[in-house]
Amino acid sequence: MKVLVADDISKNGVELLKAQGYQVDVRTGLREDELAKAIKDYDVLLVRSATKATRKVIEASKLKVIGRAGIGVDNIDVEAATERGVLVMNAPSGNVISTAELTIGMIFALARRIPQADASMKKGEWKRKEMKGAQVQGKTLGIIGLGRVGAEVAKRAQALGMLVIAYDPLVSPEVGARLHVRLMSLDKLLEVSDFITLHTPLSAQTKDLLGKNQLASMKKSAMLINCARGGVVNEDALYEALSQNKIAGAAVDVFVNEPPAGSKLLTLPTIVLTPHLGATTAEAQEEVGSEIAEQVIAYLRDNVIKNAVNMPAKLDPELVPYMPLAEKLGTFTSQLGKTSAGRIEIQCLGELSKKDTSIITASVITGLLKPLSEEFNVNYINAFAMAKARGIEIVSSTSDESGRFSNLIRVSLQTNGDKVSTAGTLMPDRGARIVEIDGNPVDIVPEGHFLLIAHMDKPGMIGKVGTILGDSDINVASMEVARARARGPAMMILEIDDDLPIEVLRKVRQIKDLTSAIAIKL
């Protein structure tokens, strides 16, 4: 077995591979053409972030595994690897402690103005009064994303005497209680926190998760830390909030463009900036190097798959078309939930019941977890383990009874006694459709932005909603109303062209006889 290490990883990782009798060659700094030529004789390619495992490289190889010593796999063409039957795996655990510690360091840097004081001293100044700070004991820390890094931050903050609250709809109340963290809505967390730290991936659901309106709802004395991913906080909105003193400070380790040349954030005195240092410790680099080596060995020697980001094994071709639909149903249903996830039920009905539908179940869970889980590359290999770690109970079932559809996937989510559900199918010549929401018959394409409104069916409701959206320059692409009977409970589903600003959603929620209004993004 031959292994090519194309970026520097820990010496221990290399030695672990050699101890298995593998031939290990370390050749760093290879350009695409050079790597494509060199890779032909190797079974395993190990990279960090510098080397690009492009389609050209992968198609020139006979690789069995590509391993990323770290979390992100942006430098690997995962689609090309999957097509060629190459397993791609990452090492997401090794940098957890380093990132959590950096977050705590950022809190102290902001609270005590350490970078500003250091810069002032080096200018020969002595500005004790101007550098007055605040202690963190007794302050409220709001954590957005209570996965592995978020949980480690919580433990350290609690040891400092901070009150820790969190927003994470993918964490069960039991897990929150075990961590001694109070779970709440994002809106409430923004309103009451003294410090806010983010630990989520960048996805369609988390892009600009904190924008102008969210930053405006924070305390003027609050401080924001982002050691997660660039783009989760809108950089223009953050600049405006800081430059106009709408929040007191921010610390940022990640950026939309790295390095952030020309960014307006570089000009602000109330922000602490670091060059993506979350995993940049000797210990973290040692950990991820050893972690990826151990995973490669487990796969090649024992056929044990861990932290895979794709699944090159052949799938039932009749189930493959249903997997994207199942994932969308998971994402849609998770956003319907009002509080933290506790139990998810997946039913495969009709002709699907004759198949092994475990891959459908895994796809639903992937859609449920991926948008907000801080572990990157949640997929149908690791979805079950990640759901279990969050305390989510999974129940799957099948039945040949599917009503008016030949096949149906129904997803139900229980959250603190409340239950929400969706169902979808594939229609001939029409593709994927969501055909049921909370028992109401609908017909919507699972793409784009939606506003779901539960209300009493009475004259004027549509007009009231339309007026608010129109006055806010929100364009409605389509609308339908589902109801069981006239003048009874009903659901209005509006497809809108853009993301719905939080202040517009709040106005809609103030309409009389409206039960709930939820913005959905797919």
| CATH number assigned to the domain covering 96-273 | 3.40.50.720
Looking only at the bridges linking them, the beta strands covering 476-483 and 489-496 are antiparallel
Looking only at the bridges linking them, the beta strands covering 418-427 and 65-68 are unpaired
- Mean pLDDT for the chain? 90
Per-residue pLDDT tens digits for 203-235? 778 889 999 999 999 999 999 999 998 999 999
Region 396-408: mean pLDDT is 88
Cβ within 8 Å of residue 202, ≥6 positions away: 228, 229, 230, 231, 232
Angstrom distance (rounded) from CA 157 to CA 103: 10
Region 504-508: mean pLDDT is 89
Instruction: Name the pLDDT band for 381 (thresholds 50, 70, 90).
Output: low
Q: Does domain 448-522 have CATH number 3.30.70.260?
A: yes
Decide: 4 and 44 in contact? Cβ < 8 Å. yes
- Does residue 483 have a pLDDT over 90? no
- Does residue 159 have a pLDDT over 90? yes
Residue type, 378: V
Per-residue pLDDT tens digits for 73-132? 878 998 888 878 789 999 888 889 999 999 999 999 999 999 999 999 999 999 999 999
Residue 399 CA, distance from chain mean position: 32
Topology of domain 2-93+283-302 in CATH is: Rossmann fold (3.40.50)
Tell me the three state secondary structure of residue 244: coil
What's the pTM? Answer: 0.72
* One-character DSSP codes across 59-114: HT---SEEEESSS--TTB-HHHHHHTT-EEEE--STTHHHHHHHHHHHHHHHHTTH
Catalytic machinery residues: 229, 258, 276
Per-residue pLDDT tens digits for 24-82? 999 999 999 999 999 999 999 999 888 999 999 999 999 999 999 987 787 899 888 88
Residue spans of the domains in the chain: they are 2-93+283-302, 96-273, 321-444, 448-522
* One-character DSSP codes across 387-411: HHHTT-EEEEEEES--TTSSEEEEE
**Superfamily name with CATH number, domain 321-444:** D-3-phosphoglycerate dehydrogenase; domain 3 (3.30.1330.90)
Cβ within 8 Å of residue 219, ≥6 positions away: 191, 192, 193, 194, 247
Per-residue pLDDT tens digits for 195-209? 999 999 887 788 899
Angstrom distance (rounded) from CA 41 to CA 55: 17
Angstrom distance (rounded) from CA 30 to CA 51: 7
Per-residue pLDDT tens digits for 293-322? 999 999 899 877 888 888 655 567 788 889
Element (H, E) at 520: strand 514-521
Q: Do domains 2-93+283-302 and 321-444 have the same CATH topology?
A: no
